[in-house]
Amino acid sequence: MRQVRRGQGAPGQGAYGRQGPSAPPYGNGVPQQPSYVDGQGYGGDYDSGYNTGQVYGSPGGGGYDGPGDPGGGRGPRPAPNWRKRIKWTAIVVITGLVVTTVGTYFWADSKLNREVDLSKVIDRPEGGDGTNYLIVGSDSRAGLSSEQKKQLHTGSAEGKRTDSMMILHTGSNGDTLISLPRDSDVEIPTFVGSESGKTYKGTGRHVKLNAAYAEDGPELLVRTVEYNTGLKIDHYVEIGFAGFASIVDAVGGVEIDIDKGFKDKYSGADFKAGKQTLNGDQALAFVRTRHAFAASDLQRTKNQQKFLAALAHQVATPGTVLNPFKLYPTLGAGLDSLIVDKDMGLYDLGSMFFAMKGVNGGDGTSLNMPISGSSGGNLVWDKAKVKQLVQELNNDEKVTVSGN
C-alpha cells in the first residue's frame, strides 16, 4: 500500500495529494500552524505551560477575559467613589428625617382634643397685635382611679373647676405671662349657652372667676375674661390633674428651687427648701397648694408660673428632644391630656410652649393680675392698672405694669 507522507505537498495540493485550494499565506492575523514533520509535531519553542505550573494562563496568573482583554489578565479593581457614596448616604438620611418629621407631625396633630368652640363666644373685643392664650389648669379627675385620687390628694368632687388660669401674650416685644387668681371678682356678662344655645342676659351678678367655668365651661370663661379685661383671647388650652402629672413623669421629673419649705395636708405637699427634682405627684401638690401661704391664692399663682416655666425648659432640653424614648412619651402624655380650641394647631401650641420657656429664661415678664383690694372674700382688680396692661398688650408693647 502506498504510503503518503505527511508534510509538504505540491503546491495547490491538499495533505493527501488531492487538488485543493492554495493555503493562504501567513500574516493578516493568521498564526503559523505547527509542523508535524518527522513525528515531532511541535516546534522547539512550544511550551505546554507545565514548566511554570500555569495552564493556559499568563505568567502573572491572570485568566483570559475575552477579546477585550488582550493582555490576558484582569485589570486592577477601581477605587471606590467616596463622593458618590457620601451623596447617596446623605440623601437616604435626609429622606428618613423628612419622612419621620412629617409622620410625627400628623401623629401629634391627630392627638389634639379640639373641643372648645370660640365661635360661640359673643360680643368679642377687637384683637390687637400678638397672640393671647388662655391657659387653664382644671381639677378634672377624669381617668383617675380611686387609688390615684387618694395618692394625688384630689378628692372625689364631681364635675370640673379651674385650679389655675393664666393669660400668655406672645409678641415681638417680649412675652408676658399673667396669672388670674381664681378668687378674682368678676361680672358674668350676657352669654350664649355652649350646650343649650340659649342667650342668658347679664344681670350684673358678681362671682369668683372660677365660677364662670363651673357654670358653663370654657366658652363662658373666655367670654367673662374678655368682658372684664377688654383683651381678646385667641386660643384656649386646658389640662387636668392626671395629664399634668403624666407629663412631668414622662420627662423624668422637673428640677425646681424652692425658696422656703412648706406643708399642706390638703394637697399632700411636704417640701424642704432648696433645689430638688419633683415627680408627677409632687409637682401636682406643689402647684395646687394655697393653704400653706399667708397670701393664699396669690402665692399659689406665683408657684404655678414658676413650675410651668421650669417644665417648659425641661421639655426643651436636648436630653428630651433628641431622645425618642423620652420625646414620644412626653408628646403623647401632653397631647392626650390637652383640651384646646378648634382653631388651635401644632404651630400655635409650639409658639405657646417656647414663649413659656422664654419667660423662664428671662426673655419675658410674669406677674399676677394687679389687685386693688378685696370684697366679700373676692380679690378686686385694679381697674386703672388692668386698663394700662391691656393697652400695652394690644399694642404689643413692653409691659411696664407690675402685679401683686
Those residues with Cβ within 8 angstroms of residue 279's Cβ, 6 or more apart along the chain or in another chain: 248, 249, 253
By the 8 A CB rule, do 247 and 337 touch? yes
Nearest-10 crossing angle of helices 280-288, 241-250:
130
For 151-166, the pLDDT digits (tens) are 555 544 455 667 789 9
By the 8 A CB rule, do 249 and 275 touch? no
Residue 375 above 70 pLDDT? yes
Evaluate the CA torsion angle 273, 275, 280, 284 in order and state its sign.
Answer: positive
Alpha carbons 162 and 150: distance in angstroms, whole number: 20
At 67 the pLDDT is 53
Residue 227 above 70 pLDDT? yes
At 325 the pLDDT is 66
Give the pLDDT band (50/70/90) at residue 176: very high
At 121 the pLDDT is 96
Tell me what the mean pLDDT of segment 394-399 comes to: 92
Give the pLDDT band (50/70/90) at residue 105: low
Give the pLDDT band (50/70/90) at residue 147: low
Cα separations in angstroms, 223 against 73, 76, 120, 137: 89, 81, 9, 17
Alpha carbons 6 and 3: distance in angstroms, whole number: 9
Residue 101 above 60 pLDDT? yes
At 233 the pLDDT is 97
For 50-81, the pLDDT digits (tens) are 445 444 444 444 444 555 555 555 667 777 78
**Which domains, ranges and CATH numbers included, belong to the chain?**
115-403 (3.40.630.190)
For 256-312, the pLDDT digits (tens) are 999 999 999 888 889 999 999 999 999 989 988 888 888 887 888 888 888 888 888
* Overall size of the chain counted in residues: 404
By the 8 A CB rule, do 342 and 154 touch? no
